[in-house]
Amino acid sequence: MGKASRGVGIYLLGFASLFAIWHVAATWILNSVLFPPPWKVFLKAIELAEDGTLWEQASASLGRIATGFTGGSLLGIPLGLAIGSFPIVRRLLEPYTEFLRFIPATALITVAVIWFGIGEGSKIFLIVYTTIFIVIINTAAGVSAVAPNKIRAARSLGASRTQVFLFVAFPATVPYILTGMRLAMANSFVTIVAAELVAANNGLGRMIWDSRMYMLVDQIFVALLVLGLLGFTADRLFRWGIYTFAGRFSPVT
């Protein structure tokens, strides 16, 4: 059995153990009405998938996350590169970055609704906000962490500043960028659920809220599992990208 197969087996064993503990807790320890067993949640998921409700709610949330996350990353990466590369830019923008990143996106939900209404704009704004600062900080840290030996070697071979940046600094910074995006993605899921609880007509967050109103606990668990599955998949993709680039552009000492 190869290393990859063993890794998949361990993951599957971990998930199986989780569902086994869940089943035991729901069946023999806790109130199964308030804490439904896995089979009941699975049947509810099939029901919601067959009538299209699950796909509609999940696609609404995922679309908002993808749009806001992409926008925040596209803004954060160049800003992080500039902050990490140029001291004057760092001194100019770092105070704003350090100040705003400590204001959580969930605290701005009311402000976002006032500015953009309860449509898509407010949710996308919040995802952009929760993404951009994490990406900026990790990108800037990546530029600062580029091995000086690499830069000196490139310059000794006649590379210009642009070539040093494009072929040395930026590739070495990619693992840091992906790490920042990975962290930002997790925060995006937290933010979108909070935003949809307050100001949305659809989405997994809204589904959780409406299910609470009618005590549809199994439906709440379906939404939670879908959120976890989507987040887990996105995280695995980012981890794969980080390991790929980290192995290709490992620092030279």
Average pLDDT, the chain: 85
Supply the pLDDT for residue 214: 84
State the first-to-last Cα distance of the chain, in angstroms, to the nearest integer.
Answer: 35
Domain locations along the chain: 1-34, 36-248
How far apart CA 218 and CA 103 sit, in angstroms, is 34
How far apart CA 163 and CA 239 sit, in angstroms, is 28
Residue 250 pLDDT level (bands cut at 50, 70, 90): low
Residue 120 pLDDT level (bands cut at 50, 70, 90): confident
8-state DSSP, 108: G
Supply the pLDDT for residue 253: 34
16-20, 28-32, 55-59: least confidently modelled range: 28-32
CA atoms within 13 A on the CB side of 207: 24
Listed in sequence order, the residues at least 6 apart from 199 whose beta carbon sits closer than 8 Å to its beta carbon are 109, 112, 113, 118, 122, 123
- Identify the H or E element spanning 80: helix 53-85
How far apart CA 95 and CA 78 sit, in angstroms, is 17
Supply the pLDDT for residue 134: 94
Residue 7 pLDDT level (bands cut at 50, 70, 90): low
The top-level CATH class assigned to 36-248 is mainly alpha
**What percentage of the chain carries pLDDT values higher than 70?**
92
Supply the pLDDT for residue 12: 77
Instruction: Please indicate whether residue 64 or residue 14 has the higher confidence score (pLDDT).
Output: 64
Residue 20 pLDDT level (bands cut at 50, 70, 90): confident
| The two structure tokens encoding residue 37 | 């067993």
* Cα dist from 133 to 6, 104, 129, 160, whole Å: 37, 11, 7, 30
How far apart CA 129 and CA 124 sit, in angstroms, is 9
Is the pTM higher than 0.75? The answer reads: yes
